[in-house]
Amino acid sequence: MKNPLVGVGVFVYNRADQILLGKRKGSHGSGQWSLPGGHLEFNESFEDCCIREVKEETDLDIRGVEKLGFTNDLFESDDLHYVTLFFQTRLVGPVIKHKPKLMEPDKCDGWEWFDLDNFPDPLFPPLKHVIKLKPIIEF
């Protein structure tokens, strides 16, 4: 019997209140825009998972991880079921350090900052679903 996987997605805000998104590649959702995030590891706290995933994917440091919401998503064509936990956070350090690096080029085409009212298309389904649940995301 298969079980759902647990993923996290992190709304990382910069000082201009923009959100960091990357274009996925090499896995389900390839070509779609998504938040930094990944799988929750065994015995890992939510906050530690968010900090680790953002650092691994973007080399950015974050602080003040706050719970935001969750989605329950089926990816039928890939035979996957994910429960995705969403969090929001701010960057640590001076603005000059807020340039994300592409740390996993096999998984992402690149990172860009987007205004909250100007998301790119297409969005990764869990991100699209949480935006519908929380149309105004505040920090």
Q: pLDDT (tens digit, 9 = 90+) per residue, 17-73?
A: 789 999 999 888 999 999 999 999 999 999 999 999 999 999 999 989 999 999 999
Could you identify the residue written with the tokens 């064509």? Answer: 77
With residue 22 as reference, give the H or E element that holds it. Answer: strand 18-24
Per DSSP bridges, beta strands 80-91 and 5-13 are: parallel
Domain residue spans of the chain: 5-133
pLDDT at position 95 over 70: no
Provide the mean pLDDT of the chain. Answer: 91
Domain 5-133 has CATH 3.40.190.10: no
| Percent of the chain's residues with pLDDT above 90 | 76
Query: Cα angle vertex 127, ends 58, 89, to 5°?
Result: 50
Residue 45 burial by Cβ neighbours in a 10 Å radius (0-12, 13-18, 19+): exposed
Compute the residue count for the chain. 139
List of residues 6+ apart from 92 with CB closer than 8 A: 61, 62, 63
- Distance between CA 115 and CA 20 in Å, rounded? 9
Q: Mean pLDDT throughout 6-25?
A: 92
pTM of structure: 0.92
Residue 52, both tokens: 């680790």
Q: Mean pLDDT throughout 77-100?
A: 85
Could you identify the residue written with the tokens 């505040």? Answer: 138
